[in-house]
Structure 1
């Protein structure tokens, strides 16, 4: 495959596969192995992977820019929801999830983020929503 020889493209795909696998694993961990049969599983997995990818990007930016945790500059992330025209990101201390959130600072904060995503009303609603039929 030609993609295997394109290092930059391969790095992008590898990072996307990591967040997809993490999202799938966490959905199964929280909702059981039958979660894959729920009508909105695919849409939910995409949404979770997008949020995790944004958080992972923020996490990587902090280390690449050598920003110390608790320093003057904070790295934030969020997902822009086109239909709602809002920025969305999970944050445990506030039930209003329409804002930017601080990027995770360590692996433990990714665990917290995954738990937050699984308990998010948006994610729960998506799991049980039947996908709209698209053009064929």
Structure 2
């Protein structure tokens, strides 16, 4: 089965998931055996070929030096495997994945390790969010209903993830209100709009924080960017900032300062990707009104 078919199953195709831990072990080892048949079919495993007096041990197979050209900070979501999304092979991406693609100390340390050890090859740091992010959705629900049971993070570690994302959610809520007016909160699609904008702002804010932490890396030719993977279309997209277009196939540079983050929030709030969740009546008031709101 090719990689596209493995990644993108049709909605009516049954998912044959293992039902027990033992079945999981068998599935993983069978997958590794198929991988070995393609990647290293003639290399004996050193641990299974003991040396004998009659024959010298087989020479060790050469191991390639790590040389990734891009480091990706992505979400742990099982639907967004970075190597498959970019059709990248081994030793091309240095991938760090954590729920909500948040920049905790361990993630930052991993990226700094990549910067310090792969200077000759690494040229891009990419923060990759994705639509329908569970961590962002949890943070939005916590913001909208802080006392609700469904929005409660029951452990300190889970709260740490949600708290990281809440900054982007609050910024997204302010951007929606400044763009569409205070009444936007009563829109039936407000929650979906807030999730949509928060996904982009969370990725952008993380990229901004990462750029600030590793600013000196840009002097050696490494850039920091962000984007969002759309689960529906499988496209990696940047914010569509023009209400008249749908040109999103790009990566976006990390914001350079807080003012750029604020401007980005306003632009994403007015864009089709967010405004599609709002009512026709509210959209009509914005695009028909004269003055700055119609810019």
**Matched-pair contact (CA < 8 Å) for 2:240–2:273:** no
CA shift for structure 1 position 92: 5.0
Which of these residues, 216, 230, 246, is aligned with residue 81 of structure 1?
A: 230
CA–CA distance in 2 between the matches of 1:121 and 1:2?
35
Structure 2: any 5+ residue segments left out of the alignment? Answer: 1-152, 281-295
Structure showing the higher helix proportion among its residues: 1
Answer with 15-24 or 119-128: which moved more: 119-128
**Structure 1: gaps (5+ residues):** 130-136
The runs of 4+ residues in structure 1 deviating greater than 6 Å are: 68-71
Q: Note the 1:3-42 alignment, pairs <5 A.
A: 3=155, 6=156, 9-42=158-191
Q: Distance in 2 between matches of 1:21 and 1:48?
A: 10
Task: State TM-score, norm by structure 2.
Answer: 0.38
Per the alignment, residue 118 of structure 1 pairs with 269
- Name which of 37, 40, 44 aligns with 2:193: 44
Distance in 2, matches of 1:70 and 1:31, equals 40
The CA RMSD measured in Å over matched residues stands at 2.5
Larger Rg: 2
> 1:47-84 CA deviation, whole Å, 9 max, x = no partner?
11110000111111112223466762211111101101
The alignment of Structure 1 onto Structure 2 pairs a total of residues equal to: 125
Aligned to 2:253: 102
Q: Equivalents in 1 of 2:271, 2:219: separation in Å?
A: 26
